[in-house]
Structure 1
Amino acid sequence: MHASNSELWTGYWQSGRIDTGMGAPTDNGKDGFSAFWQMLVGELPDDARIIDLGTGNGAVPRHLNRAAKCLGKTISIIGIDAASIDPTRTLGMDADGLAGVTFIGDTDLTKTGFGDGSFQGATSQFAIEHAEAGKAVPELLRILDSGAPFQLLLLHASSPLVLSFVRQIGEIDTLMADDGLVPAMRHVLEEPSTRATDALEKAGRMHMERYGENLSPIAEEIFAAVAILINSADVPLPVRRQAASRMDMRLKDEQARLHQLARAAMDENAAHDLRDLFQTAGAASLALERMYDEDERAVLGWALTGQCAP
């Protein structure tokens, strides 16, 4: 049984991830993200109320709080997500930077439940493109105050981030192939033998030869888990088999999540279509442009900005 979209993301966020990708969080202020979100905070009045759509574990609220502190402003943030989220509890000590943020999970971006004109600003990072645009766009404009700015960072189809998703999908395919590491591990646990162990070692060696230093975080997790499962002789075999089944499902869920991200990524036509939808819905001062890292070498995404009509 496959997990639903919200369940995929619930599992991902509850594992302690901070951003959409599997790598280290882009939270160091050196990647272009901080300047982008600071620009929004600079436009807002003191005590502005901001909504972050598809907030996950609060990557954007971290940036917003940091920007407000730098600019000497007071803001309040509500982060909503379709997944079941609780960043403060999930991240523990790593929740620093989320003080004063209210998180609300299990919330459809097309039916937020907030009143008209509830917010003076809105943000979204790699999230709104997953929602049904024809409903999410008017809903966003409805809950924004007159003249309130919004800044949306959208997945760019040819960005390094999206290309990394595609590469990770391919690597998971390799791990789960008939001659891959995961089936070989299951064989060792189900029918232990020298031949099965040799096949497992061969699968691991071939994977490392193919990916080497470019091993993805999910593959690193799988290699570590395989080593534990195979070498934990003191753990009953049925328990190890159950753990292997959970690992198999974890891989399938991650593969489905990455496919979802890759499908949501926008080429130029799709990005302009979304901008046009905002225009039709009554948004003002719209701008769409590619957003680059600080070295202006890599595309981070599409930056779509505008205002709720005055």
Structure 2
Amino acid sequence: MRFATVAHGGRTVAAVVARDRVHELPDRTVADLVASGLAAALEAGGAALAGPGVPLADVTLALPYRPASVRDFVTFESHVEGVRRSVEGAAGVPSAWYDAPTFYFTNPHALYGPGAAIRRPAHSRALDFELEVGVVLGRDGASLSEAEAHDAIFGYTVVNDWSARDLQAREMQVGLGPAKGKDFATSIGPWLVTADELAPRLDGSGRLDLDCRVSVNGVPIGRDRLAHMHWTFPQLIAYASRDSVVRAGDLLASGTTGGGGCLAELWGRRGSQDPPPLEPGDEVVMRVEGIGELAGTVADDAGGRG
């Protein structure tokens, strides 16, 4: 099932998207559905499907929901190798990367939905995208086992971790991790696809095997399979919860896919900024099989955010 937040008829409401129609869930938000747990959300969504709905083309998709916490991991080996060369000027993959699925916390207040315009940071001229898939938790937990973490998954969405590579390259020399190079914008959407919907796409190792692609202004840039993650989503969740707490609604992103899931990976491999950094007016479109399409544009530097 696909849960979205839509603007229609002067209202912004939660809805179930089924094929090309939208079925409203009055008096509920997607955050409410997530907090209720997967079983209850599916029951509510099933009841909504009994109505006639409206055409998907007649509504505007908004930010699906606003998670209180966003952890962004780095789970694709080829991405690490390419971006490390581009951003840090170093070769190879650090041995410590293989020890555990490392993550950082990004800004939950700077989240944007499908089609939103993202303003390039004023002091950056190396704007980049990152193609990722996010997992959404449907229950609270602490020090979860992998089996418990698997059962805690509510669903998945597409994530674009916008990145200012020139700012990131400088600040990471301090050794604390990305800050202003990452905290200005993260796009998520177009909706949340529930875990049961994608369960048939789990491979023998417990990884989702989905085709992931990204293009800029209609030109294909990168392609990879989500199954190339070094760790599974339950392993990410279990690690995040170790000696700590996770909550229903928390978003945990896979980290950037390889194969050109961001420009910086290609810059590191080619030794030059080819393709060039994003500029105002550019449109980035990400498509993940079984989940959907997330588009975003780069706004004029002097303009506002969408």
The TM tier, using the shorter chain, reads: under 0.3
Bigger relative contact order, structure 1 or 2, given CA contacts below 8 A and separation 6+?
2
Structure richer in helix, relative to its length: 1
TM-score in terms of structure 1 length: 0.21
Structure richer in strand, relative to its length: 2
Rg larger in 1 or in 2? 1
